[in-house]
Each structure stands twice: as C-alpha cells, then as structure tokens.
C-alpha cells in the first residue's frame, strides 16, 4: 500500500483565497484525522471521521475551515478565506479501528503558506 | 477528555548515553498510548504503542516505554543514543475502545551530541 497520500505537498496562496487540501487514506481504514502542526501550538486535532461521518470537529478553529469525506477513499480540508495565521503543516492520518488497535498512519503533510 | 504532557521541549544527550523522554497522560478510561517520531519535513511514524497486557512495550530502533498506571506515565527510553535518533518525538493518547480520537503532546526535540 502507498500509505496515506496528501496533495499538494506545498501550497502558497494569497490572503483571502480559498485553499483545498486533499487526502487519500490507506485502503480499508475506517477512521480519518486532520491535524495542524505549528511551532506555537504543536499538533492539533482539527476533525476526525469514522466510516465517512464526522465524529468530532471541536478542533476546527473557525467557520472558515470545513472538511468533507464523500467516500472512504477521499477527504478534503478547505479554508475559505485563508489568512496568514493559517500557515502551518496540515497532516492527514488514517487508522483501522479494532478492539485492540487505533494507531494512526500519517501522510507526508501539506505545508501551507498564506501571504 | 484525554490530554498529554511532555516534559521538556528539548532534550540533549551524548551519543551512547541513555535517552529518557518523559510523558504523562490524563484519561477518564484505560488509555491506549503511543510514541511517534518525526524526522524533518516528514510525517509522523509510529515507534511503539501500548493497548493492554504487558506494561513494558518494545518498539522500533531499540526504543521502549513502560506504562505506569499509578504514575499516569509512559516514558520513552533507549539505552544508547545514536546520531540517527535526532528527531522530534511525540507522545499520544486515545481513549481506546471508547473513542478513536488521538491527542498528541507538544513534542520533545531530541538532540544527540557527538
């Protein structure tokens, strides 16, 4: 398996523009997580899905952020409009939940710069 | 809600010396605990995990961690540091069978001195 695939790897955009980050989880995994990593705040959980359903979006910073998972093999995180403080590395991770296992497998991340 | 505290945002050890990275957790149910490693410009990679059973858990690259319920700790150790161990290490907790959510600590950057 190719692992969790995120695109793009790098994104530079101007303030006010819409940004869409994409994620393809590992085939067969039933949970998907979006994290944001910054120097100041570390690794924050933004939202997670189980069986394509959003379970907890309490980490989404504001209404400018939205996430969807239309099917088991694809998810998007959208920021509209983007602001400089959204600059961070965004990670997608997936896992296959069993009674004994919930470890998450991470993608390589998308480094977002909003200027 | 679960939480993780990692003591020390930076730790420096000499090559060949013991590595000890500290992690304390909070969880309302028996936790699942994880250590991940992140190399520059890469995603996180699982080092080891504890779910149930033996409290001393061995992982990749010679690392191990011990779950101590009475101390709510899950410290990461390695007997002899190698230059290639220089990276950032994250402790994480989930509420196991109750919830998939995995919460991470703020990370500890490990520096290896020659």
Residues 6 or more apart in contact with residue B17 via CB below 8 angstroms: B80, B81
Q: Best interface-test mutation with A: which of B43, B50, B94 has the largest number of A CBs within 10 A?
A: B43
Q: Best interface-test mutation with A: which of B101, B105, B108 has the largest number of A CBs within 10 A?
A: B101
In this prediction, residue B95 has a pLDDT band, given cuts at 50, 70 and 90, of: confident
- Min Cα distance B27 → chain A (Å) is 16
Residue A1: the pLDDT is 65
Residue B20: the pLDDT is 98
Residues of chain A numbered 66-85 and touching chain B (CB < 8 Å):
none
Judged by CB atoms closer than 8 Å, whether chains meet at A93 and B44 is answered as yes
Nearest CA in chain B to A109: B43
Which of chain A's residues have a Cβ under 8 Å away from the Cβ of B45?
106
Judged by CB atoms closer than 8 Å, whether chains meet at A106 and B45 is answered as yes
Nearest to residue A36, comparing CAs of A94, A86, A96?
Answer: A86
- Min Cα distance B49 → chain A (Å) is 8
Burial B46-58 (b: 16+ CB within 10 A, else e): bbbbbbeeeeebe
Residue for token digits 């790897």? A9
Query: Could you give the C-alpha distances from B33 to B27, B37, B58, in angstroms and in order?
Result: 10, 14, 13
Residue B77: the pLDDT is 98
Eight-class DSSP state of A8: -
Residue A100: the pLDDT is 66
Mean pLDDT for the stretch of residues A83-112: 90
């Amino acid at each position: 398996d190719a692992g969790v695939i995120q695109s793009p790897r790098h994104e530079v955009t101007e303030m006010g523009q819409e940004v869409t980050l994409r994620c393809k989880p590992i085939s067969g995994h039933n949970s998907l997580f979006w994290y944001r990593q910054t120097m100041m705040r570390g690794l924050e959980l933004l939202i997670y899905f189980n069986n394509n359903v959003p379970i907890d979006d309490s980490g989404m910073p504001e209404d400018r952020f939205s996430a969807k998972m239309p099917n088991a093999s694809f998810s998007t995180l959208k920021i509209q409009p983007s602001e400089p403080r959204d600059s961070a590395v965004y990670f997608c991770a997936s896992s296959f939940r069993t009674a004994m296992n919930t470890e998450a497998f991470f993608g390589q991340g998308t480094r977002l710069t909003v200027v | 809600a679960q939480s993780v505290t990692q003591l020390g945002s930076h730790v420096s050890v000499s090559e060949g010396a013991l590595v000890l990275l500290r992690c304390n957790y909070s969880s309302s149910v028996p936790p699942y605990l994880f250590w991940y490693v992140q190399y520059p410009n890469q995603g996180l990679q699982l080092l080891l995990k504890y779910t149930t059973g033996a409290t001393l858990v061995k992982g990749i690259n010679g690392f191990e961690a011990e779950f101590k319920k009475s101390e709510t700790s899950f410290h990461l150790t390695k007997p002899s540091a190698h230059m290639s161990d220089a990276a950032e290490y994250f402790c994480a907790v989930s509420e196991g069978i109750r919830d998939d959510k995995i919460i991470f600590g703020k990370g500890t950057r490990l520096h290896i001195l020659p």
